[in-house]
Amino acid sequence: MIITTKTGDHRTTSLYTGERVEKDDLRIELNGEMDELNALLGLCKAQSGEREPFESLQRQLTDVMTIVASNGKAAEDTLQALQQSVDKMEAHIAEVGRHRHFTFLLPGRNVADATLHLARAKARTCERRFVTLNRQMSFPEVIRIYLNRLSDYLFSLILDKV
């Protein structure tokens, strides 16, 4: 495996399609934000000692990153899987909401709580970057909905632990 190709030494990088774009292209920026979120979810997984739901979320984010790097092209089964994930997140959010009142929570009860809050905040950043990108390029609607639900879902996981 070659790690250093030196093709990025001139301010450009490749999308999944092979297209070369500037390193500050909105697609690269969004994928960078989602990469950071994926790393934070890995930290949540390590802190909690629980593989799920974090590994599923990491796989879903990787699918979304591929769609972004493919200029919005996605296999129908991938879009259906993302919609199913949205449905599961909504069910969890509704269940937690039945037992809790909305409240602002200060992060930092412990390291796992603070890490989950960081992931939630990064999910909001990803959603904002996607909205900006989606003004310029057309992407499947389920991606915007997924990114919006993801931050709500992470907040519901925080509430589950309170």
- Which pLDDT tens digit goes with each residue over 53-75? 999 999 999 999 999 999 999 99
Is residue 37 predicted with pLDDT exceeding 90? yes
14's CB contacts (< 8 A; 6+ apart) are 7, 20, 21
Q: Which residues of 2-31 are buried (b: 16+ CB within 10 A; e: fewer)?
A: eeeeeeeeeeebebeeeeebeeebbbbebb
Reported as a pLDDT band with limits 50, 70 and 90, residue 38 is very high
Average pLDDT, stretch 77-96?
95
pLDDT score recorded for residue 102? 60
88-112 confidence digits (pLDDT tens): 999 999 998 777 666 667 788 899 9
Q: pTM for the full model? A: 0.91
Res 100: pLDDT? 67
Report the DSSP beta bridge partners of residue 20.
Answer: 14
In the block, tokens 């994930």 appear at 85
| Contact in structure between 9 and 51 (CB atoms under 8 Å) | no
Closest Cα to residue 142, out of 72, 91, 92, 94? 72
pLDDT at 2: 75
Q: What is the pLDDT of residue 107?
A: 83
